[in-house]
Structure 1
Amino acid sequence: MMKKWNGRWLGGQLRQWSVPVAMQLYHHSYSLDSQKVRMALEEKGIDYTSYHVNPLTGKNMNVDFFRMNPSAKLPVFQNGAHVIYRAIDIIQYIDRLAVHLSGEIPPVNTEVHQWMQKVDAWNPKMFTLTHTPAKYRVFVSKFKRRVLIARMADAPDLASMYHVKLREAYETEDKVKDPDIMKQSEEELSKLLDEVESQLSRTKYLAGDEFSPADSMLVPILARITLLGLDDEYINCRPKILEYYNLVKLRPSYKIAIGKYFSGWKKYRTLFKTSFFLCVRTLFRKY
């Protein structure tokens, strides 16, 4: 297999290793789980081929992608014949791969694994939807349902699986209107952040004094809170998390995976491009 040499700083030393160029990541800047994986990849210095799949415009429902991944969820990581769909599984795979390539045998850190599980247990979907203005949420939801119907016609053999996604879309709309579901999501997030605040009073990063995969999973959640304009309610009132968040935003991995798209005025550019695309496609009924 063709290899590419790559040198990155790890553990205070410049290490070189050969990385297969076959690794591919299907992702998008809007996908919180994609941000987690991209931060982990950048932290480990692993090269990969990037494929952007915008879920807001229904690109994750395109026939070719849907055949590969009927869940239509992002990200998807592929290394040769090995395909992984869940963010936490991808990040753990990346961590093992980096260890193998570097030739080191670090001690097992159960605390990192435990924090990864805690962060992964909170599902940001309902929190994001319930804090998105209704007119935008409804517009995008209607567009995506039309995309699903159009894809059923494009690929009759996949119609039953597309119908499952269509039913899920309607169920999600019903859940968003349920105040109890919204309250539960908010309470679960607050509980998680309270635990993080307590931990950060003892350590610099989430699982110790070194940035770890657990941090790659947590930081995008803080970025999502910021994107939704909820810093005062969830971040600024927790001084240790605020200090930690300001620290990790200086890391190159954050700037590449998140800051490039959502820092300052950039988030308006990112959102405008998608809004314009949706409006044009809706106007011409191109789904």
Structure 2
Amino acid sequence: MQLYHHPYSMDSQKVRLVLEEKGVDYTSYHVNPLTGKNMNASFFRMNPSAKLPVFQNGSHVIFRAIDIVQYIDRLTASLSGEAASVSSETAEWIQKIENWNPKIFTLAHTPPKYRTFISKFIRRVIITRMSESPDLASMYHIKLREAYETEDKLKNLDGIKQSEDELCSILDEAESQLEKTGYLAGDDYTLADSMFIPLLVRVSLLNLDEEYINTRPKVLEYYNLVKKRPSYKVVIGKYFNGWRKYRTLYKTACFLLVRNTLRRY
């Protein structure tokens, strides 16, 4: 089993948390979307959406996080001789979390100068790859158009407000649920928690804990609880706890600055 992912990717975090919780052995490949590695022809041919993660088991390739998570759940259940069982509460939470797209929220809360720099760099990467692989030009053109469309969406304040409201709605429901149960879909850790934790991590990475997490006591208590799990420490803590967060960010920033200065896209 092979997983193409990156620590920054929320969907990658969801899948890796499930893999770690299930104790599944897999080969890990880092593909950094902030440096345009997901636009390299070899990866792009495998997944023209250029999105992370990508999960491969033999000839079977899956792209969407929710599909990967469900596949892993069925596979591990089958290997253990059990029937895959996801409660209606777990399935409902998984779908609810999956329906929220963090992209606009993330970019809207990223300092404009950094956001603009990365956006320009990625567009140059796409144009360069387009010239290197003319047979993929039409698909690269779609990604280039998407990049410009994203910039237009960030000018739409109503769209940004809607994304924030959707996040608040999920967190408010989680607060209500966690007043009754220890975890999101009951008293035991489930797939729903593996899907939900990266959402809290993204909020924390953007330094928005005070507004979105700390104002919800049960969510904060839950967040502190799941941080102690071995899966969290491997998937997230290794990269984002304390000073590690800045090491991860600075490493990428230095790479981008050097490549941009040398005009090597």
TM-score normalized by the length of structure 1: 0.91
Q: Which of 101, 120, 134 lines up with 2:98 in the alignment?
A: 120
Q: Which of residues 179, 198, 210 is equivalent to 1:232?
A: 210
Q: Aligned in 2, Cα 1:197/1:141: closer, same or farther, shift over 3 Å?
A: same
Q: 1:108-143, CA deviations, whole angstroms, 9 ceiling, x for partnerless residues? A: 512111110011111101000000000000000000
Structure with the bigger percentage of helix: 2
SS in structure 1 of the partner of residue 146 of structure 2: helix
Q: Deviations over 1:158-207 (max 9, x none)?
A: 00110110010011011112211110100000011111111111111011
Q: Find the aligned partners of 1:117 and 1:260 in 2 and give their Cα distance.
A: 28
Which residue of 233, 247, 262 corresponds with 2:240? 262
Aligned to 2:118: 140
Amino acid at match of 2:171: L
Deviations 1:78-132 (A, max 9, x none): 0011111110110111111111122223655121111100111111010000000
2:200 pairs with 1:200? no
Q: Which has the higher strand share?
A: 1
Between 171-180 and 65-74, the greater mean CA deviation after superposition: 171-180
**Is the CA contact (8 Å cut-off) linking 2:73 and 2:84 kept in structure 1?**
no
DSSP-derived class of the 1:147 partner: helix
Amino acid at match of 1:225: V
C-alpha spacing 1:150/1:44, structure 2 compared with 1 (3 Å):
same
SS at match of 1:51: strand
Q: What residue in structure 2 maps to residue 95 of structure 1?
A: 73
Structure 1 residues 84 and 106: CA distance shift in structure 2, 3 A: closer
Structure 1 match to 2:139: 161
**What is residue 51 of structure 2 aligned with on the other side?**
73
Q: Does 1:219 align with 2:197?
A: yes
Report the 3-state secondary structure (helix = DSSP H, G, I; strand = E; otherwise coil) of the residue aligned with 2:82.
Answer: coil
Of residues 27, 30, 38 in structure 2, which corresponds to 1:60?
A: 38
Read off the aligned partner of 2:160 and give its amino acid letter.
Answer: M
Query: Counterpart of 2:163 in 1: which secondary structure?
Result: helix
One-letter identity of the residue aligned with 1:43: E
Contact 2:4 2:52 in 1 (8 A): yes
AA matched with 2:169: K
CA 1:158–1:203 in structure 2 vs 1: closer, same or farther (change >3 Å)?
same
Give the secondary-structure state (helix, strand or coil) at the position aligned to 2:4: strand
1:171 has 2:149 as partner: yes
Partners of 2:190 and 2:76 in 1: CA distance: 12
Equivalent-residue separation in structure 2 for 1:108 and 1:246 (angstroms): 25
Unaligned 5+ segments in structure 1 are: 1-22
Aligned residues: 265
Give 4+ residue runs of structure 1 displaced > 4 Å after superposition.
none
Which residue does 1:209 correspond to in 2? 187
Q: Does 1:47 align with 2:18?
A: no
Query: Could you tell me how far apart the structure 2 residues matched to 1:97 and 1:90 are?
Result: 10
Tell me which residue corresponds to 1:26: 4
How far apart, CA to CA, are the structure 2 residues paired with 1:102 and 1:146?
A: 48
RMSD: 0.9
